[in-house]
A and B are shown apart, each in its own frame.
Chain A
């Protein structure tokens, strides 16, 4: 293994958590997640030669991962609706109220559009608005407006789901 491959894999190992998060959010089932994981690594390796250290490695990797995930989604969505997160809501016990709310919120996040998902992912990662702007290629004010709107929508969606379930 060459030195550049070793360096690449070392850096990836440090930020692997980031790729797992993108895969969880953008792929439907375990096999698809593994595919996406591999795809992101392949894509990162292809682009690594062009990485000039002008931005942080995590910022660069987020760009690569999100761009790949958004493209990867296409072939899966043609065959059915995106039902990520629904399995957890159905399968896991509902005893813990906090867990229940987490599951509802997770399912609501998965119903967002691809770009909104990416913004929420970065928000959950505690990225600054400037970092989000750099990764997404949107203005800081645009990010702020969208984020507020998404959070409001998530809250409404969760409350709606909860009241619907309590009603039934």
Chain B
């Protein structure tokens, strides 16, 4: 049984039309469910949200009467200001990839690189958000202290400064480790198998034997 002998039969099967949809809608409604298009859409939404929020946060940081809230808002503004261009750059790279005329191998290499970069950025972003949220929590405690606490609660709060720092750093460490582990698990669940498959295929392309 040889492939050449069956060529016409297989071609006949493959050439059967798969759709009756009108082609004319394609230029008008380019709504896509492709992997990269969705990824880019998410990145643009995040970037737009950051850019939208930053002026408000800066305004709040400038106007706030409470110093702790000023620190929080200013920190968050800086984080968003730094992250927005990173995400925008990645989204731009995806756009260039979408519009580029790649060969299959080049396309796979670029896709793999984009996905790995996205994984890395996702982890970095989540890890960065943990200390920011911790600062927020501390800022809230300082800004809005509980005044009518009972004796027991008051006793627990009589801690030395080094003890408070120890608790803060300990909590931060635990939260960052947990975040790192869960984010890593999630991003691997989403793209891990696909990336492994792509890597295996690309390896076989480089080494046909």
Query: Which A residues fall within an 8 A CB radius of B?
Result: 1, 5, 8-9, 12-13, 16-17, 20-21, 23-25, 27, 30, 33-39, 41-43, 45-47, 49-51, 60, 63-64, 66-68, 70-72, 74-75, 78, 88, 98-99, 101-102, 104-106, 109, 113-115, 118, 120-121, 123-124, 134-138, 142, 145-146, 149, 151, 154-155, 158-159, 162
Query: Which residues 95-110 of B have a CB within 8 angstroms of A?
Result: 98-108
Task: Tell me, in angstroms, the Cα distance from A151 to B209 when the chains sit together.
Answer: 14
Q: Are A105 and B18 in contact (CB under 8 A)?
A: no
Write the nearest CB–CB distance from B96 to chain A, whole angstroms: 10
Tell me the nearest residue of chain A to B108, going by C-beta.
A70
Task: Tell me, in angstroms, the Cα distance from A142 to B19 when the chains sit together.
Answer: 35
> What would 13 A/B residue contacts be, using CB atoms closer than 8 Å?
A8-B27, A9-B23, A45-B27, A46-B98, A72-B34, A106-B10, A121-B14, A124-B10, A134-B103, A136-B104, A137-B104, A154-B3, A162-B1
Q: Are A102 and B13 in contact (CB under 8 A)?
A: yes
Choice from B2, B26, B35, B104 contacting A115 with Cβ under 8 Å:
B104
CB-defined contacts of A154 to chain B, threshold 8 Å: 3
Q: Are A63 and B27 in contact (CB under 8 A)?
A: no
Tell me the nearest residue of chain B to A74, going by C-beta.
B194
Q: Are B14 and A78 in contact (CB under 8 A)?
A: no
Q: Does B147 contact A (CB under 8 A)?
A: no
Q: Are A101 and B208 in contact (CB under 8 A)?
A: no
Q: Does B9 contact A (CB under 8 A)?
A: yes
Q: What is the interface of chain A mostly: helix, strand, loop, or mixed?
A: helix
Q: Does B158 contact A (CB under 8 A)?
A: no
Given A33-B19, A115-B201, A142-B208, residue A46 in contact with residue B105 (CB < 8 A): no
CB-defined contacts of B24 to chain A, threshold 8 Å: 1, 9
Write the nearest CB–CB distance from B44 to chain A, whole angstroms: 15
Q: Does B156 contact A (CB under 8 A)?
A: no
Write the nearest CB–CB distance from A65 to chain B, whole angstroms: 10
